[in-house]
A and B are shown apart, each in its own frame.
Chain A
Amino acid sequence: MRFDSLLDSVGGTPLVGLPRLSPTADVRLWAKLEDHNPTGSIKDRAALRMLLDAEKDGRLRPGNTILEPTSGNTGISLAMAAKLRGYRMVCVMPENTSEERRQILRMWGVEIISSPAAGGSNEAVRVAKQVAEEHPDWVMLYQYGNPSNALAHYDGTAREILEDLPSVTHFVAGLGTTGTLMGAGRFFREHKPEVRIVAAEPRYGELVYGLRNLDEGFVPELYDETLIDARFSVGPRDAVRRVRELLDNEGIFAGISTGAILHAALGQAAKCVRDGEHADIAFVVADGGWKYLSTGAYEGTIDEAEDRLEGQLWA
């Protein structure tokens, strides 16, 4: 495969079968390997699309500074794209994200503004909105409300899956900005409406939910619940257990959030077996495990790993 530049190589990722984790010959699991993108995560798709669309409609011009609230991956993807297209990049990131993510961002020349750990990404969004007001000339692409984020998955992720696996029955992905699920959800509703859209949402430790009033929660502007059919909350214990199963059984070394996605996919698979349904369940491997080694998720017992993840933004 040949591309004119790194940016041209975003997307077109492999879809691989999981012969050992699939429960039966009739209920099969398929992994969409998004860690094969240039910076190693699914966020390359959204970042590139948001940046190109902003250039097209004139919101982004040469020499601009891009500002984005991110727990890591979107920042890394935007940083790569920004570097190649000549923009300065500033990220607002919760202080309880992994050290690897900070180092990688700095490596790509990103300036990092830390937001308080308590409150997680909600706080990063709040701080970024404040910073944007202080710097009206900076361009916030704002992944939580930018339709280009979802479009990247409508035109890319979901379309590729349907092409590679016309018999697909379920699509399972992580819920963060909701971009992947909204784009893929809309694509399948229009092109193969019988495909069930399943969301896996990471459940963090108490610190992340903070002491804030329940009315100060955050639902991304992109979110439209009619585009998904089921939504599961997955804690660190199940995420770690599954991410290790993926490595042990299928040789795939994925990030912790993928463990949460696989947990929901396996739950769906078990249900299909019980109901005697045929199923081809495609799920997203959002990134590789490299950036999370220092969290301790891959070493020792599950109990130890679970304890270490307490208070961390592991997805």
Chain B
Amino acid sequence: MAIELRVPTILRTYTGGAKAVSGDGVNLAEFIDNVNGTHPGLKERIVEGEPEELRRFVNVYVNDEDVRFTGGLKTEVKDGDVVVVLPAVAGG
């Protein structure tokens, strides 16, 4: 078991076209670092600044819940979780 990252179309240049890649970590920040180790460049498209924060127009969900409401990059993750990255879109 591992944690799965669902990669949006625009970021698949970093994953050799793969729609999903997997990695490990106890929280989202660690997980993104871990995935960036195998797919360099992914991280800086999702995270920015010091201290690190999610980029403004990027939404990240762990098991469908927006991590901005669950502790951001400190959100805990575990084996079997699904992390989805999506650009922010409008509705209405």
Residues of chain A at the chain B interface (Cβ within 8 Å): 43, 70-71, 73-74, 120-122, 124-125, 143-144, 174-177, 179, 199, 201-204, 206, 208-220, 225, 228-234, 315
Contacts and interface: CB of A to CB of B under 8 A. Distances in A.
Contacts of A122: 89-90
7 contacts: A43-B92, A209-B87, A210-B87, A211-B10, A214-B57, A230-B66, A233-B84
Contacts of A202: 91
Nearest to A238: B64
Nearest to A71: B92
Nearest to B87: A217
Contact of A143 (B9, B59, B69, B92): B92
A231 B65 contact: yes
Q: Which of B57, B88, B91 has the most CB of A within 10 A?
A: B91
B56 A219 contact: yes
B90 A220 contact: yes
B68 A225 contact: yes
B57 A219 contact: yes
A112 to B, nearest CB: 16
A209 B90 CA distance: 10
A215 B10 contact: no
Contacts of B90: 120-122, 124-125, 144, 176-177, 218, 220
Nearest to A120: B89
Given A219-B57, A231-B66, A144 B9 contact: no
Contacts of B84: 203, 233
Nearest to A199: B66
B73 interface: no
B91 A176 contact: yes
Contacts of B57: 214-219
B69 A214 contact: no
Interface in B1-36: 8-11
Contact of A228 (B9, B45, B69, B87): B69
A233 B64 CA distance: 5
Contact of B91 (A175, A215, A231, A234): A175
A218 B56 CA distance: 9
Given A218-B57, A219-B56, A219-B57, A73 B65 contact: no
A71 B92 CA distance: 6
Contacts of B59: 233
Interface in B38-75: 45-46, 55-59, 61, 64-66, 68-70
Contacts of A228: 69
Given A206-B9, A219-B56, A229-B69, A214 B87 contact: yes
Contacts of A233: 59, 61, 64-66, 84, 86
Contacts of B11: 214
Contacts of B8: 206, 209, 214
B89 A121 contact: yes
Nearest to B60: A233
B9 A121 contact: no
Contacts of A203: 84, 86
A261 B88 CA distance: 18
Given A217-B58, A228-B69, 20 more contacts: A121-B90, A144-B92, A177-B92, A209-B8, A209-B87, A210-B10, A214-B10, A214-B55, A216-B87, A217-B57, A218-B89, A219-B57, A220-B90, A225-B69, A231-B65, A232-B64, A232-B66, A233-B61, A233-B64, A315-B91
A60 to B, nearest CB: 20
A208 B89 contact: yes
A209 B89 CA distance: 7
Nearest to A228: B69
